[in-house]
Amino acid sequence: MAQIGYSKKVMKHFMNPRNVGTIENPDGYGKVGNPVCGDLMEIFIRVKDNIITDIKFKTFGCGSAIATSSMVTEMAKGMNVSEALKITRKDVADELDGLPPHKMHCSNLAADALHEAIKDYKKKEGKKT
């Protein structure tokens, strides 16, 4: 397969994405669309004592969106929610050894959906107390 500027890590996560799927009754759920291409991303998190113990994603996105989501789920798993909120689009792209410049917008979906899922969790937690 032609790799056209994709790093080995991007190809690895695209060919064998981690944490694909859904979580029933998640503690946090985030869904975002990419205004550039119209693609969609959903992230589900399970949280215990403010730690992300499980995380899954589902996407209608391109290969870069799949690779960045796979990477962001790996990065966020086991993290405190407040720390995970600080993961930026650039952090995800950097962890993948970069994305071609015209595909950088694809990394928005993964980080943004993660942030939405955490905000949803925090909102639900706020209601409980």
Q: Which residues are at the interface with ligand FES (CB under 6 A)?
A: 34, 37, 39, 61-62, 64-65, 106, 109
**Residue 78 C-beta: closest distance to ligand FES, Å:** 26
Q: How far apart are CA 19 and CA 23, in angstroms?
A: 10
In three-state secondary structure terms, 84 is helix
Contact between 66 and 17 under an 8 Å Cβ cutoff? The reply is yes
**Residue 125 C-beta: closest distance to ligand FES, Å:** 30
Is the CB of 20 or the CB of 62 nearer to ligand FES? 62
In three-state secondary structure terms, 30 is strand
Annotate 75-105 with b (16+ C-beta within 10 A) or e (fewer). bbbebebeebeebebeebbebbebbeeebbb
Please identify every residue annotated as catalytic.
37, 106
- CB count, 10 Å around CB of 58? 16
Is the CB of 101 or the CB of 126 nearer to ligand FES? 101
**Residue 123 C-beta: closest distance to ligand FES, Å:** 26
